[in-house]
Amino acid sequence: MSDPSPYLFPPVSPSRSGMLAVDDLHTIYWEEVGNPQGVPVLFLHGGPGAGTSPQHRRFFDPRHYRVILFDQRGAGKSQPVGETRNNTTQLLIEDIETLRAMFGIEQWLVFGGSWGSTLALAYGQAHPERCLGFVLRGIFLCTRLEIDWFINGAQWFHPEIHEEFVEAIPPAERGDLLQAYYTRIMDPDPDVYWPAVRGWSRFEGRRVFLMPQPAEPSCDSVDLGLGRLEAHYMVNLGFFDENQLLRDVDRIAHLPAVIVQGRYDVICPPVSAWRLHQRWPGSQIKMVPDAGHAAMETGISRELVAATELFRRQGRFA
């Protein structure tokens, strides 16, 4: 793995953490990091279903920022893992507002990558008055074209990975791989859904970095959360109207934004970041020439920290 550590802040532990019941089914994990009197930041993880990690705390100067991180419904330490009932973008936005009120925060900087960029845009467009600005990475607008690319575009750059993904599905169902995997992932039989969620997670994970990485041990909870929630949200087109997030950029276009994008991102190709930048005249775009999709690639991490430091130095939140 390329080493992002020269650019990240030192490891930091949460000052507070806990579990919050957001309805009768879902309980979400949250944590607070940094200066309790600092500029508030909301961190939104990707996937959906990927969850947060200790590395995510390190994009922010803990002396200046008060960072709120949480695992979205069905992800990470939130319970139940992989649960798709009562799990929509609109409900995630409600959870964010519940957390904001719980922490007594009026406005915050919104930071998100991949699906986190999708949710950041959706939240900002629903509640622009609560946002100070945005740091966004690996833009995913959740359009039909992007979803089709995620499933079928892999064959153009990673044909061997795509072939493995396809071979798990009977020939008669290969015309709609998303639906075929969704049907298996949501099957109640563990003998059916476990191979499907593991295959889905492997299919994505092997394409995240520009350069091949050593294989990491499989984690059932990560595979279940990622496989079920990604398939669930993709089948439902993110619970958006087509092109909704680009259409409604005007609601947040008065706010500052930095967009960080890997030039060779094959999960969320750069065209979406470019389209967002064109619709958002005040935004800055940082196209990283030697990176793919992963936040922990050296160039991506460098630009994400540079973005949070830019906002800190400019005092854009006064």
State the catalytic residues: 114, 265, 293
Per DSSP, the three-state class of 294 is: coil
Show the CA angle centred on residue 1, arms to residues 264 and 54, nearest 5°: 105
Burial (Cβ within 10 Å: 0-12, 13-18, ≥19) of residue 77: middle
In this structure, are residues 251 and 138 in contact, taking their beta carbons and an 8 Å threshold? no
In this structure, are residues 317 and 132 in contact, taking their beta carbons and an 8 Å threshold? yes
- Edge-to-edge order in the sheet of strand 65-70: 16-21, 27-34, 65-70, 39-44, 108-113, 131-137, 257-262, 283-288
**DSSP type of residue 149:** I
Residue with tokens 């940082």: 286
Alpha carbons 126 and 290: distance in angstroms, whole number:
34
